[in-house]
Amino acid sequence: MKPLDIYITLLGQFALLSILAIGGANAVVPEIHRLSVHDQHWMTDTQFVDLFALAQAAPGPNVLVVSLIGLQVGGLLGALITTLAMCGPSSILAYTISNAWDRFRERPWRKATQAGLAPVTIGLVLGSGWILTDAADHSWAAYAITAATAALTLFTKIHPLWLLAAAGALGLAGLV
């Protein structure tokens, strides 16, 4: 068993992130990175981006990157706690509020909140991209792969799995 403290930290930190995740899981990647690599020293930059890449390559919601962080830190129980902590508070909020949605969806404050949060979410997701690039790329070839993947995703309909696989093959060939 790991010390209880670790599970409590995972539970508390990710439960807080659940409520801060405006616009979804991609918006909190910078905070998860800061927490895992700099504050708690659970893993290195390289391990962090590897786990992120694994979650991208797996089917299902993007939020599962937190399960991998939990697994790394506290085994299977850590993965479960982290996943439930990340989904729990926001799910409870959704459960409680969905009934009242009809009553407030047309209210001006709701529209102002949504319109005001949108640029913040975009800034956070761009920040995620920046931080992942900074942590993952150690060579010009790696930067080229990041740029090419972004461009191909923006301008073609290539499935992301192909891009990840091709980049993996380049890495395996010793080119990155």
Interacting positions 1-20 with other proteins (CB under 8 A) = 16-20
Between the alpha carbon of residue 2 and those of residues 8, 14, 54, 85, the distances in Å are 11, 18, 24, 18
Q: How far apart are the first and last CA of the chain?
A: 38
Among residue numbers 157 through 176, which ones bind other proteins (CB under 8 A)?
159-161, 163-164, 166-172, 174-176
By beta-carbon proximity to other proteins, the closer residue of 8 and 126 is 126
Q: How far apart are CA 16 and CA 155, in angstroms?
A: 36
Q: CB of residue 12 vs other proteins: minimum separation in angstroms?
A: 12
Does 44 engage in binding with other proteins (CB under 8 A)?
no
| Secondary structure class of 22 (helix, strand, coil) | coil
Options 2, 44, 126, 158; binder of other proteins; rule CB under 8 A: 126
Nearest distance, CB of residue 41 and other proteins, angstroms: 15
Render the burial of 60-99: b for 16+ CB within 10 Å, e for the rest.
eeebbbbbbbbbbbbeeebbbbbbbbbbbbbeeeeeeeee
Binding positions for other proteins, 23-42, rule CB under 8 A: 23-26, 28-31, 34, 38
Contact between residue 40 and residue 138 where contact means Cβ atoms under 8 Å apart: no
User: And the tokens for 42?
Assistant: 């659970």
Site for other proteins in 52-91 (CB under 8 A): 52-64, 67-68, 71-72, 76, 79, 83, 86-87, 89-91
Which residue, 1 or 115, has its beta carbon nearer to other proteins? 115
- According to CB under 8 A, which residues from 93 to 122 bind other proteins? 93-95, 97-98, 101, 105, 108-122
